[in-house]
Amino acid sequence: MSGMEVFQDSNERHRLTVQNRLLKQYERPVLSRLISGRTGLRVLDVGCNDGSKTAEWFSCGNVERVVGLEYHEELAAEARRCHGNGKFVFMPCDVESEDFPERLCRAMEQWKIEAFDLLYLSFVLMHLENPALLLKKLRRFLAPGGQIIVVEANDSASKLEPDPHCLLKGFLDILSCDPYGGDRQCGKTVPELLKKSGYGNISVESMTVDAREGEVRKKHDIFESFFSYLPQDLAVLRQKEADDSRLRDSRKWIESNYGELRKLVLSERAVISMGISIVTASGE
């Protein structure tokens, strides 16, 4: 499995469903504020996967047109099949390819969309070679008064109590080297990336997803969203272990500690925060 193929995997798509259920309570108030009282809005969702989050987030009446861009043709086709209609369109597209702006321009002409009132990027910048370049290119597609909303992981803000043997740190250290995990500190750099790319009125809306004592269902969703995929990634990478002692050590660490970490996270009295940054900005 290559770095990009992971996004078509059924486990990954199930994980995204749980992650989106978890994030709804954090993203909804921000989105509502940006779109309430406005009508005829045009939205661009970059890295939309199978379009299920796109359809759920932007089905409200304030939004008139939604364009989803997705690297994988199969995922874009599935998004089109399940959610495509006069309002939602989905296009396979590598947003890091050189001709991306021209391709998007041509598609917008065809769909009679002049510009977007909202650019939405959720867990995609962390997987790009050059996120600042994409942000710069996207700015020209914003309508006057338009806004961008970026959601990204920031593991440096993650905390777990109690955690007497620092298992969370051990886990996140391994995750930071997972070739499928992307840049796990991306959320921390988003405000600076937006500033460098010419955006203004940058606002950090939320920094962590939290579960307190007793919030057991939420802790299950947090574990599924942010912890479940590392053992799967390491299993996929197993054939490379012969040449990579760090991979071997990581798998051994996971075999010895993953169960205990799971127990700690899911325990009634655990207090956990996972770093997820939600940042908004305007095009000016």
Ligand X SMILES: C[S@@+](CC[C@H](N)C(=O)[O-])C[C@H]1O[C@@H](n2cnc3c(N)ncnc32)[C@H](O)[C@@H]1O
Give the residues lining the site for ligand X (CB under 6 A): 4, 7, 16, 20, 47-49, 53, 69-72, 75, 93-96, 122-124, 127-128
Q: Which is nearer to ligand X, 72 or 136 (CB)?
A: 72
Least distance (Å) from ligand X to the CB of residue 206? Answer: 15
Q: Which residue is nearest to ligand X (CB)?
A: 47
Output the smallest distance, CB 56 to ligand X, in A: 10
Considering the complex, state which of residue 47 and residue 146 has its C-beta at the smaller distance from ligand X.
47
Closer residue to ligand X (CB): 18 or 207:
18
- Cis upstream peptide for 162 (omega within 30°): yes
Under 8 Å between Cβ of 147 and 281: yes
- Angstrom distance (rounded) from CA 160 to CA 164: 10
- Rounded Cα–Cα distance for residues 4 and 144 (Å): 34
For the beta carbon of residue 260, count every other beta carbon within 10 angstroms.
11
Cβ neighbors of 244 (< 8 A, separation 6 or more) are none
What kind and span of H or E run contains 143? strand 142-153
Closer to ligand X at the Cβ: 43 or 48?
A: 48
DSSP string, 185-211: THHHHHHHHHHHTT-EEEEEEEEEEEE
Identity at 83, one-letter amino acid code? H
| H helix intervals, 84-127 | 100-111
Specify the residue, 56 or 260, whose C-beta has the smaller distance to ligand X: 56
Choice between 91 and 271, CB closer to ligand X? 91
C-beta separation of 133 from 103 below 8 A? no
How far apart are the C-alpha atoms of 263 and 223, rounded to whole Å?
Answer: 10
- CB 259 → ligand X: shortest distance, Å? 26
Q: How far is the CB of 283 from ligand X (least distance, A)?
A: 21
67 CB-near residues (< 8 Å, 6+ apart): 42, 43, 44, 45, 89, 90, 91, 107, 108, 111, 113, 116
Kindly state the smallest distance separating residue 11's Cβ from ligand X, in Å: 13
Residue 16 Cβ, how far from ligand X at the closest point, in Å? 4
CB of 255 to ligand X, least distance (A): 26
Please identify, using beta-carbon distances, which residue of 96 and 224 lies nearer to ligand X: 96
